Structure 1
Amino acid sequence: MDMELLKYIILPLFGAFAGFINTMAGGGSFLTTPLLIFTGLDPTIANGTNRLGIFIQSVFGFNKFRTMGYFPVKMAKVSFLPSIAGALLGSYLATVIAEDAFRKYLAFFMVIMTLVTFFKPVSDKKLEDIETTPSTVALLSVLYFLMGIYSGFIQAGVGFLILACCVMSGLDYIRGNSIKMFMNITTAVFSLAVFIYHGKVVWLDGILLGGGMALGAIISVKFSIKAGNVFVKRFVSATVIVFAVLLLITG
């Protein structure tokens, strides 16, 4: 079958699979970017087109979390500015550190942060019980600033760091994923605009991929809420280990 026809099948299908994983844990770009390259796109264009898919997925995933009452607005407001500041610093560091080096750094910190969150008891706080005290705000600011630095390094894998920051600041995994979707939207808007300006986005491919990722995100939100935080915690831990190993092997 011609690749132009085949992509109408594989992009939505693989997109749904990646969207499911990306929403519940993270690392979807490790699957979707190589897939876009496989369909014939230049790596830079594949990167830009993938941002469109992530944006579409995040909009649908975030909206599902929000409508089901799992979005802690106060915590999201606190985390926004520090992560942006960290991302700016991370972008600068990315210009002076070799890509293979920070891919290995990312793999290392993914494992460390996952171990920390794995041994942290799952929060059973209700949304109305989560308070943004001065100490919580300070902790969130530091954690999200560090997360932003790594998001400036490389887009793929940043979802793991966002989720880890949320859990370490007292949120459960499900509400942490809702903030992750929110952060993906805000950062994707700026990065996607740059790629579009430079003509590095193939709209049809991005929409096909994003449609599948959106479906996967909706299914993932429903499934994670039904399965509960303990299952999501285990799923995240297993996924992080797999992608960390892949980062080290391919790096």
Structure 2
Amino acid sequence: MEQLLPETLLFLIAAGFLAAFVDSVVGGGGLISMPALLLAGLPPGVVLGTNKLGGTASSLTSTVQFLRSGNIDRRLAFALFPLSFLGSALGTYTVTLLPSEFLKPLVVCLLIAVTIYTVFKKNWGAGAVYRGLTNAKRVLVAIAAFVIGYYDGFFGPGTGSFLLFAFLLLGFDFVRAAGNARLLNFASNIASLMTFLAFGLVNFVYGVPMALAMIAGAWTGSRFAIKRGAAFVKPLFVSVTTLLIGKQLWDLLLG
């Protein structure tokens, strides 16, 4: 059986906790967890699958916290759940056939637009103005759930940010938008994980300790978000999307 060195174990636990803390609120935890798994010595394909194990545990934990606090619109989010699930499963299958590198320039542009819009909408997300959906909005949000789910399975960076942004556009405040985003992110994570498991691309020796740490990180992060509200979530959202932009630009320049 594969051995995990004590220093590697501690490193993965610390990275997993921090990644899940951030991810449970605004997404972007993969900025921390995926490089950590690469540094631990796992091959890139296995890193993607093993990261989904931790991501699924993290998103489930934070989803439960947001549900218990009443910060998820159950009717809307659960209606969108299967679309995110199916999109992610299809996206993960596609990534086993095609390289995902061509998406990077598009992702950078979208993240820049999301960040700029959020920064300049000063009081955006401070209070809820959501009053239900028109038929046109139902179609658009259904398409968004499927497409973002597909993107999460196919490539991934910034999924939580895109989901949170979509719910903000519908009129939810930052905390409720984060809660809805967590549920859909759980759908895309578990679908992607099941697909990676089918292809044998999950390392449980590295993944289980990290997943346990991510459960603790997600529990802590979601409680912070619920307690502190938009004053905590919005600055973290802007900071994480800015880091995601920097990471994707760095990869493009090096590539």
Please list every run of 5 or more consecutive structure 2 residues that lacks an aligned counterpart in the other structure. Answer: none
Q: Kindly provide the CA deviation profile for residues 212-247 of structure 1, in whole angstroms up to 9, marking residues without a partner as x.
A: 111111111111122211331121012101111111
Q: Is 1:16 matched with 2:28?
A: no
Q: Kindly provide the CA deviation profile for residues 21-68 of structure 1, in whole angstroms up to 9, marking residues without a partner as x.
A: 111122111221121121121111111111100011111111111111
Q: For residue 139 of structure 2, what is the aligned residue in structure 1?
A: 138
Please list every run of 5 or more consecutive structure 1 residues that lacks an aligned counterpart in the other structure. Answer: none
Quick one: which amino acid aligns to residue 226 of structure 2?
A: I
What does 1:39-54 correspond to in 2, within 5 Å? 39-54=40-55
Structure 1 residue matching 2:62: 3-state secondary structure: helix
CA displacement at 1:118 relative to structure 2 = 3.7
Quick one: which amino acid aligns to residue 193 of structure 1?
A: M
Q: For residue 29 of structure 1, what is the aligned residue in structure 2?
A: 30
CA displacement at 1:138 relative to structure 2 = 3.4
CA displacement at 1:131 relative to structure 2 = 2.4
Single out whichever of 83-92 and 39-48 deviates more from structure 2.
83-92
Q: For residue 219 of structure 2, what is the aligned residue in structure 1?
A: 218
Percent identity over the alignment is: 25
Q: Is 1:183 matched with 2:202?
A: no
Quick one: which amino acid aligns to residue 156 of structure 1?
A: P
Q: For residue 125 of structure 1, what is the aligned residue in structure 2?
A: 128
Q: Kindly provide the CA deviation profile for residues 184-229 of structure 1, in whole angstroms up to 9, marking residues without a partner as x.
A: 2222222212222222211131111111111111111111122211
Quickly say closer, same or farther: Cα 1:139–1:91, change in 2 above 3 A: same
Quick one: which amino acid aligns to residue 141 of structure 1?
A: A
Could you tell me how far apart the structure 1 residues matched to 2:99 and 2:199 are?
24
Quickly say closer, same or farther: Cα 1:86–1:194, change in 2 above 3 A: closer
Does the Cα contact within 8 Å between 1:16 and 1:213 map onto a contact in 2? yes
Quick one: which amino acid aligns to residue 242 of structure 1?
A: L
What does 1:1-251 correspond to in 2, within 5 Å? 4-83=5-84, 87=88, 99-120=100-121, 121-122=124-125, 124-125=127-128, 130-251=131-252
Structure 1 residue matching 2:172: 3-state secondary structure: coil
Structure 2 residue matching 1:70: 3-state secondary structure: coil
Structure 2 residue matching 1:13: 3-state secondary structure: helix
Structure 1 residue matching 2:5: 3-state secondary structure: helix
Could you tell me how far apart the structure 1 residues matched to 2:146 and 2:191 are?
18
Could you tell me how far apart the structure 2 residues matched to 1:235 and 1:185 are?
20
Quickly say closer, same or farther: Cα 1:218–1:237, change in 2 above 3 A: same
Does the Cα contact within 8 Å between 1:12 and 1:209 map onto a contact in 2? yes
CA displacement at 1:147 relative to structure 2 = 2.7
CA displacement at 1:89 relative to structure 2 = 7.6
Does the Cα contact within 8 Å between 2:151 and 2:159 map onto a contact in 1? yes
Does the Cα contact within 8 Å between 2:153 and 2:188 map onto a contact in 1? no
Quickly say closer, same or farther: Cα 1:43–1:97, change in 2 above 3 A: closer
Could you tell me how far apart the structure 2 residues matched to 1:185 and 1:16 are?
17
Quickly say closer, same or farther: Cα 1:92–1:61, change in 2 above 3 A: closer
Does the Cα contact within 8 Å between 1:122 and 1:230 map onto a contact in 2? no
Q: CA RMSD in A?
A: 2.7
